Structure 1
Amino acid sequence: MINQLSWKVGGQQGEGIESTGEVFSIALNRLGYYLYGYRHFSSRIKGGHTNNKIRVSTKQVRSISDDLDILVAFDQETIDLNYKELHVGGIIIADSKFDPKKPEDTEAGMYAVPFSQMATELGTSLMKNMVAIGATSAILDLDIQVFEEVVKEIYGKKGQQVVDKNMKAIAAGFDFMKEKLGTTTPQMHLDKADGKKRLFMIGNDAIALGAIAGGCRFMAAYPITPASEIMEYLIKKLPALGGTVIQTEDEIAACTMAIGANYGGVRTITASAGPGLSLKMEAIGLSGITETPLVIVDTQRGGPSTGLPTKQEQSDLMAMIYGTHGEIPKIVLAPSTVEEAFYDAAEAFNLAEEYQCPVIVLSDLQLSLGKQTVEPLDYNKIEIRRGKLVKDELPEIENKGYFKRYEVTEDGVSPRVIPGMKNGIHHVTGVEHDETGKPSESAANRNAQMNKRFRKVENIRFNTPVYKNAPHDEADLLLIGFNSTRGAIEEAMIRLENDGIKVNHAHIRLIHPFPTDELLPLVKSAKKVAVIENNATGQLANIIKMNVGNAEKIHKLLKYDGNPFLPHEIHTKSKELF
């Protein structure tokens, strides 16, 4: 018996690779296993190699596994591209339709199974993915009935006959593989899971659900990989709550529409990826100078320009902090798990209204599209805080003057009203303005308004700005990351500890304003610091040097080939520092 398994299915886009992984993983999640899935796909609708790698475990997992137990191949390209991940004793299950050839430099076993032929005999070759699930079940000694409920949910709308045919396809694959194995028993039977019910979701769905819980009732956005699922989720859910989603003509319109809706008092979100955020930058500046709340999601992907639109990267960090022209206060959050994505998305609306500035929820492709097992979410943790939004009746202003929307206050936050409120009339303009919003080029006023705006974010209240796993008062090595690298770092940390290296781990959740006071003690108490990030220039490492100092002990562990970090890569590169 084993306590974890790594399974991958691959083929050409449009062959049902995603649905194969969905049926397999959802069924195992419902048995109580923890899962982590990551999909590699091409930036086109159909064609091009794609694969879905799913890790199954009896314990919480938050990263892709280093190696592979089972590879399900619908074409030879899948074998050629992925076989080196298979460990000794691993298994390839390949469709006999393409006459599969096992590479000479692998000790993995291979079984040719007529996926396509068996599916065709049952009615359609499209069911070859179900045959593959059945063959996998035989190797794992799984009862195929665990898939019936999932198959009904996915294909039930097409009628019971379709459900029955898919279950027959699973049974056919199971029986064929059992006969192939004979008395051979692969050591791939999973330990029994705890049977507890847990969610299984991608980060984008968690962000969208968090937005709803946080009171969001409007979204303006333009589709872009890997952010589109946020809009797709909210399109389905918001109307039932009295909200709506508008697909705008471009990213500029999306951002300005979101600003307008927030000005009107409606909690609003917009979401995009790097190219879209570049287009939103001028509007983000408008939010900053007009002090209008704005929540933006940036799901990072490979750049620059179109770059690698379906691959992992973390290269938008500097752009999110410094991308706007001029200087405005802003807040940048970086959740590292699906759970954090849910809670941080909800909290972003509170921060945007309390500090009256843009709040960016920074994600990356691995976190946004990677599917994880999630413990039940606690909605009691969600609260709605609207800051200095005036709800009571305003007193009449002498001489029919204007409301001081941008009043200079000690904490930098001015009272805010929504349009139409009696005695709340004021100017709103993107040029510098006085306390009532009237344009002003006075040097004294400019200093007063700039200083006021930046006072707002001097003392941000945010729960857990730095996630810490620091068992040592003095560490040989401090590992630092942000967003989706957390799981791989946690596994590398365990391996390094087994090597006799004392390791602490810090994961940055509040990117800007930077939590210097939280991180500095950990950096000072470590002999060496390794910053792990998916970009070419070490953007987070440079930000740490700017805010924390100690540059001589900070080392960059970088990866920018479009793939996420694997635990062994962090382990190996970290050991090289000693």
Structure 2
Amino acid sequence: MGTVISQLSWKIGGQQGEGVESTDRIFSTALNRLGYYLYGYRHFSSRIKGGHTNNKIRISTNPIRAISDDLDILVAFDQESIDLNAGELRPGGVVVADAKFSPTIPEGVQARLFAVPITAIAEELGTSLMKNMVASGASWGLLGLPMEVFNTAVEEEFGRKGPAIVEKNIEAVRRGAEFVLEQAGGPLDEFKLEDADGKQKLFMIGNEAMALGCVAAGCRLMAAYPITPASEIMEYLIKKLPKFGGTVVQTEDEIAAVTMAIGANYAGVRTMTASAGPGLSLMMEAIGLSGMTETPLVIVDTQRGGPSTGLPTKQEQSDINALIYGTHGEIPKLVVAPSTIEECFYDMIEGFNISEQYQIPVIIATDLQLSLGKQTSEALDYDKIVINRGKLLTGELPANEDNRLFKRYELTEDGISPRVIPGMKNGIHHVTGVEHDQEGRPSENALNREKMMDKRLGKISELRVTNAIKADAPNENPDLLIIAMGSTGGTIEEARIRLTADGIATNQIMVRQMHPFPSELLEPYLNAAKQVVVLENNATGQLSNLIKQNIGYHDKIRNLLKYDGTPFLPSEIHKACKELN
């Protein structure tokens, strides 16, 4: 019996539309039932069917927040999947492949091949569609994990189709496991996982966490147009919002979505929209309208490869400039970038509160890996949820003097004016996208213009979200300070462990509040570090430039950029930082 291991990496590949996604879903669900920590990454094409796709899952008995450098087990539905992914296999890794295409291992790859008649077994059971269950059973069998747990996951997946379908799929799993175990002579000792704690954990993608955060925050309307990688937010809320008296409206385009969201927020309903880079571009004029009319608005931007249609299904963090500077003119806004599944949830709630408290557009910016990468989450604390609607007036308003209109844009000490819902007695006022006076009437008066601009921009000058920067800084004067945003945090943490072993002292900061930029919070860490690396998934160093513009330290800052559409690996960060030091 070999030594048990604390983690391994599993990947399944094939043509899009032939069951790769469902295989991954059931396999990971069963692992979650056993209490393992999981972190997944999806590689998929920007089409409905066809084109290579693969799903990679890292399995561990300890919390993890990054994909692994290498691969232990590859399940392949075609030779292309082997050719494209075998290079990740560590020496002694395993390939489970469909015997139908006579699989071969590329030269130089030290891996063991198990050719299983995956399609043939499925067809014997009635349909080739069940080949994903045969492949899953083969993988599960090699790991020596309890089959009853996997069968329960199959029942949950197919239960709505009736007991006959469930039994057929369970039989497919059993046949796949039996075949490969006969070949291997039993479960593989080198892949024997330590027992997990048995506690079922939250397991979801960032989009689901944000959608759940919307519901918890009291959002009751989403207006949106489908776009990768944001669509799952809409799909989740379509199922959940009606249970709370809310609804989702699929609009004809992103311009309609954002203007509908503005209108609904003006009417007093917490409303949001979600999109990606191309949709965000279309929303820019309307975001300006939200800022000018001081109407709350919450937008989720799930960054993906650009420009134009770009790489719709690939990782990138290149919307930073657009998020901050995209609107014409100057308006107050908040841009926040969560870096974990948990932050996706809590940031949505805080985003809705701040949007109403400060009467500004709030943009929550994720990236594709955080939006779509399925991973284990810590338990969410619902006691933390607080709803704050700011200066939204309720009840009967006093009559205005001399029958004047309500001062919707009243000049106040904090720059935030009282807000009313349409129809409230004595609350009538003008609303316009042009410059206006305190009652909303159009005005081109120079003095009024200055006062209104100062009012709008001044109200966010001291705005800081919870953990505007998230620092892990154990070293007083580190050799290296690594700064990043979004999904890269966990990958950096793993690279830092290796850098520490090399004798390089590092600190890490995730910038969560992108605008207004929290310069005073970040500067002391820059000052203390001997050298600074800013890591980001874009080609021009947009976060790095933001830091230089707001703080300086040009001489210390070095860029670590990746813009090929794939996430950073721990080994890449380790190697690059070691060379820079």
TM-score between both structures, scaled by the size of structure 2? 0.99
The whole-number CA distance in structure 2 between the counterparts of 1:89 and 1:186 is 12
1:541-563 Cα distance to aligned partner (Å, 9 max, x none): 00011112111101110000000
Q: 1:569 maps to which residue?
A: 572
1:560 corresponds to which of 545, 563, 567: 563
Are 2:162 and 1:145 equivalent residues in the alignment? no
Q: 1:439 maps to which residue?
A: 442
Shift of 1:518: 1.2
Q: 2:73 maps to which residue?
A: 70
Q: 2:458 maps to which residue?
A: 455
The whole-number CA distance in structure 1 between the counterparts of 2:557 and 2:126 is 60
1:357 corresponds to which of 360, 367, 370: 360
Shift of 1:455: 1.1
1:154-175 Cα distance to aligned partner (Å, 9 max, x none): 1011111111111111111111
Q: 1:294 maps to which residue?
A: 297
The whole-number CA distance in structure 2 between the counterparts of 1:183 and 1:317 is 52
1:190 corresponds to which of 183, 189, 193: 193
Are 2:553 and 1:550 equivalent residues in the alignment? yes
The whole-number CA distance in structure 1 between the counterparts of 2:444 and 2:131 is 70
Output the amino acid matched with 1:128: K
1:201 corresponds to which of 201, 204, 207: 204
Shift of 1:183: 6.6
Q: 1:169 maps to which residue?
A: 172
2:511 corresponds to which of 500, 503, 508: 508
Output the amino acid matched with 1:26: T
1:412 corresponds to which of 412, 415, 430: 415
2:48 corresponds to which of 42, 45, 49: 45
Identity %: 66
Q: 1:524 maps to which residue?
A: 527
The whole-number CA distance in structure 2 between the counterparts of 1:152 and 1:26 is 11
Moved segments of 4+, more than 2 Å: 183-186
Shift of 1:532: 0.8
Shift of 1:20: 0.4
Output the amino acid matched with 1:18: E
1:308-342 Cα distance to aligned partner (Å, 9 max, x none): 00100000011000000000010001000111100
Shift of 1:186: 4.2
2:230 corresponds to which of 223, 227, 230: 227
2:433 corresponds to which of 412, 415, 430: 430
The whole-number CA distance in structure 2 between the counterparts of 1:415 and 1:223 is 35
Shift of 1:108: 1.2
Q: 1:181 maps to which residue?
A: 184
1:368-417 Cα distance to aligned partner (Å, 9 max, x none): 00001112211111100011111242211111101111111111111111
Q: 1:393 maps to which residue?
A: 396
Output the amino acid matched with 1:108: A
Output the amino acid matched with 1:54: I
The whole-number CA distance in structure 2 between the counterparts of 1:184 and 1:198 is 26
Q: 2:103 maps to which residue?
A: 100
1:247 corresponds to which of 231, 235, 250: 250
Q: 1:541 maps to which residue?
A: 544
The whole-number CA distance in structure 1 between the counterparts of 2:87 and 2:147 is 29
Shift of 1:138: 2.1
Q: 1:466 maps to which residue?
A: 469
SS of the equivalent of 1:459 reads coil
Q: 1:121 maps to which residue?
A: 124
C-alpha contact 2:484 2:510 (8 A) present in aligned 1: yes
Output the amino acid matched with 2:87: K
Shift of 1:142: 1.1
Q: 1:28 maps to which residue?
A: 31
SS of the equivalent of 1:473 reads coil
1:189-215 Cα distance to aligned partner (Å, 9 max, x none): 100001112111000010000001001
Output the amino acid matched with 1:334: A
Output the amino acid matched with 1:257: M
C-alpha contact 2:142 2:186 (8 A) present in aligned 1: no
Gaps of 5+ in 2: none
User: How many correspondences in the alignment?
Assistant: 578
The whole-number CA distance in structure 2 between the counterparts of 1:136 and 1:10 is 13
Output the amino acid matched with 1:153: E
The whole-number CA distance in structure 1 between the counterparts of 2:187 and 2:166 is 31
Output the amino acid matched with 1:66: D
Distance 1:493 1:366, change over 3 A: same
1:411-456 Cα distance to aligned partner (Å, 9 max, x none): 1111111101111111000000011100000110000000000111
Q: 2:288 maps to which residue?
A: 285
Name which of structure 1's ranges 516-525 and 282-291 shifts more when overlaid on structure 2.
516-525
1:123-182 Cα distance to aligned partner (Å, 9 max, x none): 111111111111112221112111112111110111111111111111111111111012
Are 2:24 and 1:14 equivalent residues in the alignment? no
